Amino acid sequence: MDRHIVHIDMDAFFVSVERTRDPSLIGKPVVVGAVEGSRGVVTSASYEARRYGIHSAMPVAAARRLCPHAVFVPGSLGVYSRVSRAIRGIFETWSPLVEMTSIDEAYIDLTGFDRCYGPVLGTVDRILRQVRETFGLELSAGVATNRLVAKIASKTAKPSGLLRVLPGCEEAFMATLPLGRVPGVGDSLGARLSGLGLSTVGELQRLDHDLLVRVFGATGEWLYAMARGKGGLRVESERPPAKSVGHSVTFSEDTVDRRFLDGVLYHLAEKVGARVRRKGMVGKTVTLRLRYSDFKTVTRAASAGAGTNCDSEIFEKARALMLPLLERRVRVRLLGVTLSGLRPADGQLGLFTAGSQVRSLRFYRTLDRLREKYGFSSVRKGRAIWLENWRRPSGEARQKAV
Ligand SMILES: [Mg+2]
């Protein structure tokens, strides 16, 4: 049976939502993200504005120079998130396997649904029309046998398009692509490839497997598969775990300051740990959520073995997940930590529990009691002490349980 992986991407999502709220913006160059002051980075630009060279992550001041008569709108993430959830709801009426990879992108697995809905291309067309009619928003879709090709297809189809790469045609489809258009080929890999005189995937296809692995190591394996149009198959609907405790903070200013981020992360780990201990539970999975200044949101999870409710362990897991994400060199806007897979802590203090663990449990019990009596910030420990000498993460007022 052919796999039908669909990638759907909203076209200029934030701008389009703004236009449904204010139709006078239709047809004009519109830039979202125009908050005055230091936070002025473009988060979304209409196609009319893009014609002037405006693109996301560009400073608003630069965008103003390129197109002074554009309409600048501050943007409202709360509204966009609500619309995004509603769109997801439509997707979920078509398949249980819906994975939102960002606020405006989703993978849907329609494998095997031909029997209910008919040929896949018609089905995707109906889904797109349903979103257009319900929300007045434009979107594009790619259909292929795997995620990689589906994603490139949806990008190729933009705006308002639908493109299917037929099973067996993946390699031929990839051949014409410039390497820079392939998701996963970042600036540094792109530079190495172009240093070797390669500019399209077709040129890459001529290099044999062993050579690529010798030159690029594990990345060589990926390049070889990518060039042949092979990509991931799994579409995972990341349903929130039944039992979890989480906290998140949105910063008043986006930052890449590691000491500050470490401090915030520790603070979140403490809050999560305290709540889980209060419930008398331990959790098996630590999840880190990170949102960049361009609103790209990444979620990473790690196992905490048999279970933990220990602040420093939650912190260490979350930090190990965060550090690689900072290599993107884009400022961070939000951090969140969640502990899930909760179960009662009974039996945690087993016969073989190490002495240090017993001591740390006693320590937390004392700490939690002090905080219950004098308030959470009466005691600060570890890296969160840093926050005292810093401006407080001012989004903390908005901090809430996930
Ligand atoms: Mg988009």
Give CATH for domain 244-398: 3.30.1490.100
Q: How far apart are CA 106 and CA 95, in angstroms?
A: 12
Q: Report, as an integer, the average pLDDT of 177-203.
A: 93
Peptide bond into 119 cis (omega under 30): no
**To which H or E segment does residue 82 belong?**
helix 77-92
Q: How confident is the model at residue 402 (pLDDT cuts 50, 70, 90)?
A: very low
Instruction: Decide the pairing of beta strands 162-164 and 139-144.
Output: parallel
Query: For residue 393, is pLDDT > 50?
Result: no
Nearest-CA neighbor of 339 among 364, 383, 303?
A: 303
Structure tokens, 6:
């669909």
Q: How far apart are CA 391 and CA 398, in angstroms?
A: 16
Structure tokens, 219:
């990345």
Catalytic residue among 18, 105, 138, 316: 105
Query: For residue 401, is pLDDT > 50?
Result: no
**What residue has token string 């044999």?**
208
Q: Report, as an integer, the average pLDDT of 91-117.
A: 90
Q: Which amino acid is at 100?
A: M
Q: How far apart are CA 35 and CA 75, in angstroms?
A: 8
User: 273 C-alpha vs ligand 1 centroid, how far in Å?
Assistant: 36
Residue 205 φ then ψ, to 5°: -60, -25
- Report the pLDDT value the prediction gives residue 369, as an integer from 0 to 100: 72
Residue range 125-163, pLDDT digits in tens: 999 999 999 999 999 999 999 999 999 999 999 999 999
**What residue has token string 């909203």?**
10
Nearest-CA neighbor of 286 among 316, 328, 323, 249?
A: 316
Burial class (CB within 10 angstroms; exposed 0-12, middle 13-18, buried 19+) of 328: middle
CATH of 170-227, one of 3.40.50.300, 3.20.20.140, 1.10.150.20, 3.30.420.40: 1.10.150.20
Q: How far apart are CA 197 and CA 191, in angstroms?
A: 10
User: 80 C-alpha vs ligand 1 centroid, how far in Å?
Assistant: 12
- Report the pLDDT value the prediction gives residue 40, as an integer from 0 to 100: 75
Residue 248 CA, chain-centre distance (Å), reads 15
Residue range 341-374, pLDDT digits in tens: 888 776 444 333 445 555 666 677 777 777 776 6
User: 48 C-alpha vs ligand 1 centroid, how far in Å?
Assistant: 15
Work out the number of other CB atoms within 10 angstroms of the CB of residue 322. 23
Side-chain-side CA neighbours of 19 within 13 Å: the count stands at 21
- Report the pLDDT value the prediction gives residue 346, as an integer from 0 to 100: 61
Burial class (CB within 10 angstroms; exposed 0-12, middle 13-18, buried 19+) of 124: buried
Domain boundaries, the chain: 1-165, 170-227, 244-398
Q: Is 104 annotated as a binding residue?
A: yes
Give CATH for domain 1-165: 3.30.70.270
* Contact between residue 357 and residue 210 where contact means Cβ atoms under 8 Å apart: no
Nearest-CA neighbor of 28 among 64, 72, 66, 62?
A: 72
User: 38 C-alpha vs ligand 1 centroid, how far in Å?
Assistant: 25
What lies within 8 Å, CB to CB, of 25 at 6+ separation is: 15, 18, 19, 46, 71, 73
Residue range 268-320, pLDDT digits in tens: 999 999 888 887 788 988 999 999 988 888 989 888 888 888 888 999 999 99
Across all residues in the chain, what is the average pLDDT?
85
Q: Report, as an integer, the average pLDDT of 3-23.
A: 94
Whether pTM > 0.85 for this model: the answer is no
Query: Which SS3 state, helix, strand or coil, does residue 101 take?
Result: strand
Strands (E), 125-212: 139-144, 162-164
Q: How far apart are CA 234 and CA 3, in angstroms?
A: 10
User: 159 C-alpha vs ligand 1 centroid, how far in Å?
Assistant: 10
Query: Which SS3 state, helix, strand or coil, does residue 332 take?
Result: strand
Active site residue 105: yes
Q: How far apart are CA 97 and CA 288, in angstroms?
A: 22
Q: How far apart are CA 285 and CA 341, in angstroms?
A: 6
* Contact between residue 83 and residue 17 where contact means Cβ atoms under 8 Å apart: yes
